Amino acid sequence: MPTLNRTHQGIVNPLEYGASLNSTTLSATLSAIGSTRAYLMLTAVDRAGTPGAWSLTSNVTIPSNVTLLVGAGAQLNIATGITITCNASVEAGLWQWIALTGTGKIVFSGTAEIHPEWWATGLAAAVASGAGCVTIASALSVSSNITIPGTATLRIAGQGSLSVATGVTVTVAGAVEAPLRQWITLAGTGKVVFQRVAVYPQWWGALGDGVADDTVPVQAAFAQENTEIIVPSGTYMISAILSTRSNQTYFFHPGVIFLATVGGFTGINDPMLSLSGRSNVLIYGYGARFTMRRDSYTSGEGRHAILLDGTTNACIQGLTLTETGGDGVSVTGFIGPSSNIVLRDLIISGASRNGISIINVSDCLVENCVISNTFKGAAGSAPSGPWAGIDIEPDTSTHLIRNIRIKNLFTAGNASSGIQIA
């Protein structure tokens, strides 16, 4: 049997160890390499120069001391029942070079970085390979449900993107390395669900440029569960209600502006951000601002910056809320009483009804808030006021007001009382 020159540091040609593209040639080459570090080139022609694919009909393990180089046009055809175990690092282009028959499979080591483009079945086959890093570097479509396990990192590189068909869910259980740009496109009810990583609205196409309507991509990010949502600095045009989910943390970077679009929020009870029915929600927004278009709303009093209705265990900190068509924050409970609410370090200015309305809640702390300039003269918005800094006012006999604490409040320039209890 030919042996490898152990002083050779170049590329090993397997056709020196066999004339055909098959398991025998590959195994003989790996035996000659042994434990030496080597580059192994998979070719697209046999020793006679005839083009063809590698026909692998017996199990083969490619060790970690080998770097596998996949030449242009080379392909592995893996027979049913056969497992190719690849502990090697791989250098290959973004084309299909792995073909599986029946139960045939290739399994990569947990540290390997692989590309879905290497298989005809794309992402599903890549995930099944057991690799530690799945890298998407081109446009990839997903038409069936799939879970990327927690043992794998999803990496988006180059022009990589993921298009998810309607009705399909892609679940990402592990880490993600992705740029701050759109790489997720959803059709219909298609969705991507992240379980362990912080997500950004930019992944769904938010621009934050003060021009494009970012409502849909921001909502796609806000709809994630059991994770963190990070909103980078920018001006995001918002035209309709944004809804949070339970068990979430939302971070708004300094410099974030959520600005209502002209003609947006068409419903008279449309808040900018709704926590209705949610629990365990944390919102941090020091240096961030929500601004509506108070003077353009000709009716209604429910266009609040933030609505808490039947909300439990929520903390909102640091936001600035201005020019609302209702309250800065409304804490109510038409779907059930709210409870355990903290409003801290808020700056609320120019609300057309109240800075904060407390209507149906048990255990509510308002701390270190500045409320000013509630506005009586909006064009038909909240015509009945009462334009207080804080209005504590149950709407019905069943509404609950219990354990309300107000600490270190500053109010000025409001059209009515700083604090009103009705």
Do residue 309 and residue 331 come from a single domain?
yes
Distance CA 244, CA 282 (A): 10
Q: How far apart are CA 326 and CA 303, in angstroms?
A: 5
Averaged confidence pLDDT in the chain: 92
pLDDT digits over 53-72, tens only? 999 999 999 999 999 999 99
Q: Are residues 41 and 185 in the same domain?
A: no
* 115 within some domain: no
Report the number of distinct structural domains present in the chain: 3
Q: How far is CA 44 from CA 101, 189, 274, in A?
A: 19, 42, 59
Average pLDDT over residues 174-198: 95
Q: Say what the pLDDT of residue 2 is.
A: 46
Question: For 66, what's the count of Cα atoms within 13 Å in the CB-facing half-sphere?
Answer: 27
11 with 139, same domain: the answer is: no
Q: How much of the chain exceeds pLDDT 90, in percent?
A: 84
Residue that the structure tokens 């030449």 belong to: 71
- The yes-or-no verdict on residue 185 having pLDDT over 60 is yes
201: Cβ contacts below 8 Å, ≥ 6 apart: 208, 214, 217, 218, 220, 221, 222, 229, 231, 236
Domain that holds residue 84: 1-109
Residue keyed to tokens 């066999």: 18
Domain stop point among 174, 197, 220: 197
Mean pLDDT computed over 140-164: 94
- AA identity, residue 217: P
Q: In the structure, what pLDDT confidence band is assigned to residue 379 with cuts at 50, 70 and 90?
A: low
**260 and 383 both lie in a single domain:** yes
Question: Structure tokens of 280?
Answer: 């365990």
Q: What is the CATH number of the domain that holds 245?
A: 2.160.20.10
Q: List pLDDT tens digits, range 16-36.
A: 999 999 999 999 999 999 999
Domain shared by 185 and 265, yes or no: no
How far is 350 from 382, CA to CA, in rounded Å?
Answer: 12
Q: Are residues 180 and 295 in the same domain?
A: no
Asked if 162 and 299 sit in the same domain, the reply is no
Cα separation of 160 and 195, whole Å?
Answer: 21
| Same-domain pairing of 245 and 183 | no
CB contact set of 49 (below 8 Å; sequence gap of 6+)? none
Q: Would you state the pLDDT for residue 375?
A: 85
Q: How far apart are CA 65 and CA 12, in angstroms?
A: 13
Whole-number Å distance between alpha carbons of 328 and 350: 9
Residues 249 and 392 in one domain: yes
Whether 338 is covered by a domain: the verdict is yes
The average pLDDT across 267-294 equals: 96
Residues 261 and 174 reside in one and the same domain = no
Instruction: Look at residue 116 and tell me if it is in a domain.
Output: no
Whole-number CA gyration radius for the chain: 30
pLDDT one-digit tens code per residue, 321-362: 999 999 999 999 888 899 999 999 999 999 999 999 999 999
Q: Are residues 381 and 416 in the same domain?
A: yes
Domain identity same for 188 and 303: no
pLDDT value, residue 179 = 96
